[in-house]
A and B are shown apart, each in its own frame.
Chain A
Amino acid sequence: MAGARDRLVAVAALTVVWMLLWGVFSWLTLAGGLLVSVLVLAVFPLPPVTFAGRLRPVGLLRFAVRFVVDLWVASFQLAWTALAGRRAPRSAVLAVRLAVRSDLNLTMCAEAVSLVPGSLIVDLDRAAGVLYVHVFDVAGPADIARFRREVRGIERRIVEAVGSDAEIAVVGGGEG
Protein backbone atom coordinates (compact mmCIF):
# COMPACT_ATOMS: atom_id res chain seq x y z
CA MET A 1 0.00 0.00 0.00
CA ALA A 2 1.42 3.34 -1.07
CA GLY A 3 -0.01 5.19 1.95
CA ALA A 4 1.87 2.99 4.38
CA ARG A 5 5.16 3.61 2.58
CA ASP A 6 4.56 7.38 2.57
CA ARG A 7 3.90 7.32 6.30
CA LEU A 8 7.05 5.29 6.95
CA VAL A 9 9.12 7.85 5.00
CA ALA A 10 7.53 10.69 7.01
CA VAL A 11 8.25 8.93 10.33
CA ALA A 12 11.86 8.31 9.29
CA ALA A 13 12.36 11.95 8.23
CA LEU A 14 10.85 13.33 11.45
CA THR A 15 12.97 10.95 13.53
CA VAL A 16 16.12 12.17 11.78
CA VAL A 17 15.11 15.80 12.51
CA TRP A 18 14.53 14.89 16.17
CA MET A 19 17.94 13.24 16.48
CA LEU A 20 19.61 16.21 14.74
CA LEU A 21 17.90 18.56 17.21
CA TRP A 22 19.30 16.60 20.13
CA GLY A 23 22.64 16.23 18.36
CA VAL A 24 23.05 12.79 19.96
CA PHE A 25 22.74 9.54 18.00
CA SER A 26 21.70 7.03 20.65
CA TRP A 27 18.98 4.43 21.13
CA LEU A 28 17.22 6.84 23.49
CA THR A 29 16.92 9.64 20.93
CA LEU A 30 15.94 7.07 18.27
CA ALA A 31 13.12 5.75 20.45
CA GLY A 32 12.07 9.26 21.45
CA GLY A 33 12.10 10.38 17.83
CA LEU A 34 9.97 7.44 16.69
CA LEU A 35 7.48 8.05 19.50
CA VAL A 36 7.19 11.78 18.79
CA SER A 37 6.91 11.32 15.00
CA VAL A 38 4.18 8.71 15.27
CA LEU A 39 2.31 11.01 17.68
CA VAL A 40 2.77 14.07 15.43
CA LEU A 41 1.56 12.18 12.35
CA ALA A 42 -1.44 10.81 14.25
CA VAL A 43 -2.45 14.27 15.48
CA PHE A 44 -1.57 16.24 12.31
CA PRO A 45 -2.07 13.85 9.39
CA LEU A 46 -0.31 14.94 6.20
CA PRO A 47 -2.22 15.47 2.97
CA PRO A 48 -1.69 12.50 0.67
CA VAL A 49 1.37 13.12 -1.48
CA THR A 50 2.19 10.05 -3.47
CA PHE A 51 5.77 9.43 -4.37
CA ALA A 52 5.61 7.25 -7.45
CA GLY A 53 9.26 7.20 -8.43
CA ARG A 54 12.41 6.04 -6.71
CA LEU A 55 15.68 7.68 -5.70
CA ARG A 56 18.38 7.49 -8.34
CA PRO A 57 21.84 8.29 -6.89
CA VAL A 58 23.46 9.36 -10.18
CA GLY A 59 20.54 11.65 -11.05
CA LEU A 60 20.49 13.06 -7.50
CA LEU A 61 24.20 13.82 -7.64
CA ARG A 62 23.89 15.45 -11.05
CA PHE A 63 20.96 17.57 -9.85
CA ALA A 64 22.78 18.57 -6.64
CA VAL A 65 26.02 19.57 -8.39
CA ARG A 66 24.22 21.58 -11.05
CA PHE A 67 22.01 23.20 -8.41
CA VAL A 68 24.99 24.33 -6.32
CA VAL A 69 26.74 25.73 -9.42
CA ASP A 70 23.56 27.62 -10.42
CA LEU A 71 23.17 28.93 -6.87
CA TRP A 72 26.71 30.34 -6.83
CA VAL A 73 26.60 31.87 -10.31
CA ALA A 74 23.17 33.43 -9.84
CA SER A 75 23.92 34.72 -6.33
CA PHE A 76 26.99 36.59 -7.52
CA GLN A 77 25.19 37.90 -10.62
CA LEU A 78 22.42 39.31 -8.44
CA ALA A 79 24.91 40.73 -5.94
CA TRP A 80 26.77 42.39 -8.82
CA THR A 81 23.54 43.89 -10.19
CA ALA A 82 22.72 45.21 -6.73
CA LEU A 83 26.12 46.80 -6.18
CA ALA A 84 27.13 47.97 -9.65
CA GLY A 85 23.96 48.09 -11.79
CA ARG A 86 23.39 51.51 -13.33
CA ARG A 87 19.97 51.23 -14.94
CA ALA A 88 16.75 50.00 -13.34
CA PRO A 89 16.71 46.30 -14.18
CA ARG A 90 13.75 45.05 -16.25
CA SER A 91 11.83 41.91 -15.37
CA ALA A 92 9.28 39.58 -16.92
CA VAL A 93 6.53 37.27 -15.70
CA LEU A 94 6.71 34.07 -17.72
CA ALA A 95 4.42 31.06 -17.92
CA VAL A 96 6.38 27.80 -18.00
CA ARG A 97 4.47 24.58 -18.55
CA LEU A 98 5.98 21.53 -16.86
CA ALA A 99 5.95 18.15 -18.56
CA VAL A 100 5.06 16.13 -15.43
CA ARG A 101 1.99 17.46 -13.60
CA SER A 102 2.13 15.60 -10.28
CA ASP A 103 1.84 17.75 -7.15
CA LEU A 104 5.18 16.52 -5.88
CA ASN A 105 6.99 17.38 -9.11
CA LEU A 106 5.30 20.79 -9.21
CA THR A 107 6.40 21.47 -5.62
CA MET A 108 9.98 20.36 -6.11
CA CYS A 109 10.40 22.30 -9.35
CA ALA A 110 8.90 25.43 -7.76
CA GLU A 111 11.29 25.09 -4.78
CA ALA A 112 14.34 24.57 -6.98
CA VAL A 113 13.42 27.43 -9.33
CA SER A 114 12.75 29.76 -6.40
CA LEU A 115 15.99 28.97 -4.61
CA VAL A 116 18.13 29.98 -7.55
CA PRO A 117 18.36 33.79 -7.46
CA GLY A 118 16.71 35.77 -10.22
CA SER A 119 13.50 33.77 -10.36
CA LEU A 120 10.48 33.88 -8.08
CA ILE A 121 7.23 31.94 -8.35
CA VAL A 122 4.37 34.45 -8.46
CA ASP A 123 1.56 32.00 -9.06
CA LEU A 124 0.90 28.54 -10.37
CA ASP A 125 -1.83 26.67 -12.11
CA ARG A 126 -1.98 23.30 -10.43
CA ALA A 127 -4.40 21.66 -12.86
CA ALA A 128 -2.45 22.65 -15.96
CA GLY A 129 0.99 22.30 -14.37
CA VAL A 130 2.02 25.85 -15.23
CA LEU A 131 4.47 27.90 -13.15
CA TYR A 132 4.26 31.69 -13.41
CA VAL A 133 7.78 32.87 -12.75
CA HIS A 134 8.97 36.43 -12.15
CA VAL A 135 12.38 36.62 -13.79
CA PHE A 136 14.72 39.39 -12.71
CA ASP A 137 17.04 41.32 -15.03
CA VAL A 138 15.68 40.34 -18.44
CA ALA A 139 17.11 42.25 -21.39
CA GLY A 140 15.21 40.75 -24.31
CA PRO A 141 13.64 37.72 -26.02
CA ALA A 142 16.94 35.80 -25.93
CA ASP A 143 16.96 35.93 -22.12
CA ILE A 144 13.35 34.74 -22.02
CA ALA A 145 14.05 31.74 -24.25
CA ARG A 146 17.15 30.89 -22.21
CA PHE A 147 15.18 31.03 -18.99
CA ARG A 148 12.48 28.69 -20.32
CA ARG A 149 15.19 26.21 -21.30
CA GLU A 150 16.68 26.51 -17.80
CA VAL A 151 13.41 25.70 -16.04
CA ARG A 152 12.83 22.69 -18.30
CA GLY A 153 16.38 21.59 -17.55
CA ILE A 154 15.73 21.83 -13.81
CA GLU A 155 12.57 19.77 -14.20
CA ARG A 156 14.37 17.15 -16.29
CA ARG A 157 17.15 16.81 -13.71
CA ILE A 158 14.63 16.54 -10.84
CA VAL A 159 12.63 13.86 -12.61
CA GLU A 160 15.83 12.01 -13.50
CA ALA A 161 16.77 12.11 -9.81
CA VAL A 162 13.50 10.99 -8.19
CA GLY A 163 10.99 10.21 -10.93
CA SER A 164 9.47 6.98 -12.15
CA ASP A 165 10.36 5.42 -15.50
CA ALA A 166 7.16 6.72 -17.09
CA GLU A 167 7.94 10.30 -15.96
CA ILE A 168 11.50 10.07 -17.29
CA ALA A 169 10.12 9.01 -20.65
CA VAL A 170 7.89 12.13 -20.62
CA VAL A 171 10.70 14.63 -19.94
CA GLY A 172 13.27 12.80 -22.03
CA GLY A 173 11.13 13.06 -25.16
CA GLY A 174 10.97 16.86 -25.18
CA GLU A 175 14.66 17.69 -25.13
CA GLY A 176 17.67 16.33 -26.98
Chain B
Amino acid sequence: MGVTAVLDAVAGLCLLGGALLSLAAGVGLLRFPDLLSRMHAATKPQVLGLLLILSGAAIRLGTVVDITTLVLVGVFQLITAPVAAHMVGRAAYRAGLVRRELLLVDELAAARGREHGSGGE
Protein backbone atom coordinates (compact mmCIF):
# COMPACT_ATOMS: atom_id res chain seq x y z
CA MET B 1 0.00 0.00 0.00
CA GLY B 2 1.57 3.27 -1.11
CA VAL B 3 1.59 6.63 0.60
CA THR B 4 -1.22 7.90 -1.64
CA ALA B 5 -3.49 5.04 -0.66
CA VAL B 6 -2.88 5.67 3.05
CA LEU B 7 -3.54 9.39 2.61
CA ASP B 8 -6.73 8.64 0.68
CA ALA B 9 -7.89 6.36 3.47
CA VAL B 10 -7.17 9.00 6.13
CA ALA B 11 -8.97 11.67 4.06
CA GLY B 12 -11.93 9.31 3.62
CA LEU B 13 -12.13 8.66 7.37
CA CYS B 14 -11.99 12.40 8.10
CA LEU B 15 -14.77 13.15 5.60
CA LEU B 16 -16.97 10.31 6.89
CA GLY B 17 -16.42 11.25 10.54
CA GLY B 18 -17.22 14.89 9.83
CA ALA B 19 -20.36 13.96 7.92
CA LEU B 20 -21.55 11.69 10.74
CA LEU B 21 -21.02 14.41 13.36
CA SER B 22 -22.98 16.86 11.23
CA LEU B 23 -25.75 14.27 10.85
CA ALA B 24 -25.85 13.83 14.64
CA ALA B 25 -26.10 17.61 14.97
CA GLY B 26 -29.09 17.60 12.61
CA VAL B 27 -30.80 14.81 14.58
CA GLY B 28 -30.12 16.67 17.84
CA LEU B 29 -31.67 19.79 16.37
CA LEU B 30 -34.91 17.85 15.87
CA ARG B 31 -34.90 15.86 19.10
CA PHE B 32 -33.70 18.27 21.80
CA PRO B 33 -36.49 19.84 23.84
CA ASP B 34 -35.88 23.59 23.90
CA LEU B 35 -34.05 26.39 22.13
CA LEU B 36 -30.94 26.49 24.32
CA SER B 37 -30.46 22.73 24.08
CA ARG B 38 -30.87 22.95 20.34
CA MET B 39 -28.22 25.63 20.18
CA HIS B 40 -25.78 23.08 21.56
CA ALA B 41 -26.64 20.70 18.75
CA ALA B 42 -26.64 23.45 16.14
CA THR B 43 -23.28 24.95 16.97
CA LYS B 44 -21.07 22.34 18.56
CA PRO B 45 -20.71 18.88 17.01
CA GLN B 46 -20.18 20.45 13.64
CA VAL B 47 -17.21 22.50 14.86
CA LEU B 48 -15.29 19.25 15.08
CA GLY B 49 -17.25 17.92 12.10
CA LEU B 50 -16.25 20.85 9.93
CA LEU B 51 -12.62 20.65 11.06
CA LEU B 52 -12.58 16.96 10.10
CA ILE B 53 -14.10 17.69 6.69
CA LEU B 54 -11.60 20.50 6.11
CA SER B 55 -8.73 18.16 7.06
CA GLY B 56 -10.01 15.52 4.67
CA ALA B 57 -10.37 18.07 1.88
CA ALA B 58 -6.88 19.46 2.59
CA ILE B 59 -5.36 15.97 2.29
CA ARG B 60 -7.22 15.29 -0.96
CA LEU B 61 -6.51 18.67 -2.59
CA GLY B 62 -2.94 18.99 -1.39
CA THR B 63 -2.05 22.33 -2.99
CA VAL B 64 -0.83 25.33 -1.00
CA VAL B 65 -3.47 27.72 -2.37
CA ASP B 66 -6.34 25.43 -1.33
CA ILE B 67 -4.89 24.51 2.06
CA THR B 68 -4.35 28.15 3.10
CA THR B 69 -8.00 28.90 2.29
CA LEU B 70 -9.15 25.86 4.27
CA VAL B 71 -7.02 26.97 7.27
CA LEU B 72 -8.75 30.35 7.14
CA VAL B 73 -12.19 28.71 7.03
CA GLY B 74 -11.29 26.67 10.12
CA VAL B 75 -9.89 29.64 12.04
CA PHE B 76 -12.90 31.84 11.35
CA GLN B 77 -15.27 29.02 12.27
CA LEU B 78 -13.51 28.69 15.65
CA ILE B 79 -13.70 32.45 16.24
CA THR B 80 -17.27 33.06 15.10
CA ALA B 81 -19.24 29.94 16.17
CA PRO B 82 -19.21 30.85 19.90
CA VAL B 83 -20.24 34.43 19.14
CA ALA B 84 -23.21 33.31 17.05
CA ALA B 85 -24.26 30.76 19.69
CA HIS B 86 -23.95 33.36 22.42
CA MET B 87 -26.02 35.97 20.58
CA VAL B 88 -28.89 33.55 19.95
CA GLY B 89 -28.71 32.11 23.47
CA ARG B 90 -28.68 35.54 25.09
CA ALA B 91 -31.57 36.83 22.99
CA ALA B 92 -33.58 33.68 23.76
CA TYR B 93 -32.93 33.95 27.48
CA ARG B 94 -33.90 37.60 27.61
CA ALA B 95 -37.01 37.00 25.54
CA GLY B 96 -38.09 34.32 28.03
CA LEU B 97 -37.90 31.46 25.52
CA VAL B 98 -36.22 29.18 28.05
CA ARG B 99 -38.22 26.23 29.36
CA ARG B 100 -37.58 26.62 33.07
CA GLU B 101 -38.81 23.16 34.01
CA LEU B 102 -35.81 21.74 32.13
CA LEU B 103 -33.33 23.79 34.14
CA LEU B 104 -31.91 22.13 37.24
CA VAL B 105 -30.35 25.38 38.47
CA ASP B 106 -30.65 28.92 37.12
CA GLU B 107 -28.09 31.19 38.73
CA LEU B 108 -28.57 33.90 36.12
CA ALA B 109 -32.22 34.35 37.12
CA ALA B 110 -31.10 34.76 40.74
CA ALA B 111 -28.50 37.35 39.76
CA ARG B 112 -30.95 39.28 37.58
CA GLY B 113 -33.57 39.13 40.31
CA ARG B 114 -31.17 40.82 42.74
CA GLU B 115 -30.34 43.45 40.16
CA HIS B 116 -33.94 44.34 39.38
CA GLY B 117 -35.35 44.17 42.89
CA SER B 118 -38.73 42.48 42.57
CA GLY B 119 -37.86 41.33 39.05
CA GLY B 120 -40.51 43.38 37.28
CA GLU B 121 -39.45 42.69 33.72
Query: Which A residues lie at the B interface, using CB under 8 A?
Result: 17, 19-24, 71-72, 74-75, 78-83, 85, 88-95, 110-111, 114-118, 120-123, 125, 130, 132, 134, 136, 138, 140, 144
Contact = CB atoms under 8 A, between A and B. Distances in A.
B72 interface: yes
B65 A82 contact: no
B104 interface: yes
Contacts of A111: 78-79, 82
Interface residues of B, number: 46
A75 B105 contact: no
A91 B37 contact: yes
B36 A120 contact: yes
A71 B51 CA distance: 11
Contacts of A71: 47-48
Contacts, number: 146
B103 interface: yes
Contacts of B47: 71, 75, 115, 117
A115 B21 contact: no
Interface SS, A side: mixed
A21 B68 contact: yes
B65 A23 contact: yes
B111 interface: yes
Interface in B46-80: 47-49, 64-69, 71-72, 78-79
